[in-house]
Amino acid sequence: MFAFLFPGQGSQSPGMGSYLYENFKTAKETFEEASDAINLDLKKLCFTGTVEELALTENTQPALLTVSTATARVLTQDIGVKSNVTAGHSIGEYASLVLGGSLKFSDAVRAVRLRGQAMQSAVPVGQGGMTATLGLTEEQVLFLCDWTVKTSGHSPLSPANYNSDGQIVISGSMKALEWLKSNFKAEILPGEAKRAKLIPLQVSAPFHCEMMKPAQHKMEEFFKSISFSDSKIQIIQNVHAKAETNAEILKHNITEQVSAPVKWTQSMHTLKGLGQPNCIEVGHGSVVKGLLKKIDSEYFKVYSTSTLEDLKMIENLGK
């Protein structure tokens, strides 16, 4: 048994998923199903779209979901790989819901297309942003956000992605982030932070913070007409880093996730607590693999699925 882990935004790149489409009927049908669901040519977007086109969050989210779901279907249906637990980083959690049978794929594709549009329109361009903090503990990051808001007078600012120990992304007001960049000194933090760094991220909106509440409300309205089912496998959700299978809980948490921080580090500790060291990064790239290496490289063994050779390696593990 493997844990299926799905990547989030930032893992996309032109050409992703093309080898799946060319080699597996299952994947081809998945791309066609997604394209029909939102009247968008996902094959064209993923295979020949530009970096800029793929970076538009309303395109990124359905593209990533499609590639991740196509990969999962090839693994389970064509190769025979079994999964007993899953988690997805931010948008990746939708692929977990599809894998568990909690959310129909066509509904998930429509949901993430709307999610991307809603998140982009929630905050005018330039008013919000995100910054990666490196070398800081969770306590230090929380202190930094609180100190910035109180001292600068600009808000909000809060942790958005707990990616790994020492790598936490903060999100919120661009004025607050710019003030922090100009006024940050490691000496103001509790404890030691000699190697602390702040790196502004090139993103189109301040994801996973309270500025995303308007987008969350739109998702709440959308999900009122969407049916969720209990998941067939455990899904470790971003909001609280706990494993869930109940339909109503899954629905509530995936909605809250829009403005809540992604507790990825905590989720991976939950995965470890479940006794699941063998993981597959189901989808394009190796971002998740890199994060787990930082979280616990001795415990986790992560396999990639970006090439046909990767899939053959996984297939051979089961023989």
Catalytic entry in 90, 102, 158, 204:
90
Measure the CA–CA gap between 73 and 90, rounded to whole angstroms.
20
Catalytic entry in 152, 208, 259, 304:
208
Active site (annotated) includes residue 208: yes
Tokens of 208: 């996973």
Measure the CA–CA gap between 287 and 103, rounded to whole angstroms.
25
Active site (annotated) includes residue 89: no
Alpha-helix residue ranges (DSSP H) falling in the chain: 18-23, 25-38, 42-48, 51-55, 57-73, 92-99, 105-122, 138-152, 174-183, 213-223, 247-256, 264-273, 287-296, 308-317
Measure the CA–CA gap between 27 and 43, rounded to whole angstroms.
11
**Cα 315 from chain centroid (whole Å):** 26
List, by residue number, the catalytic residues: 90, 208
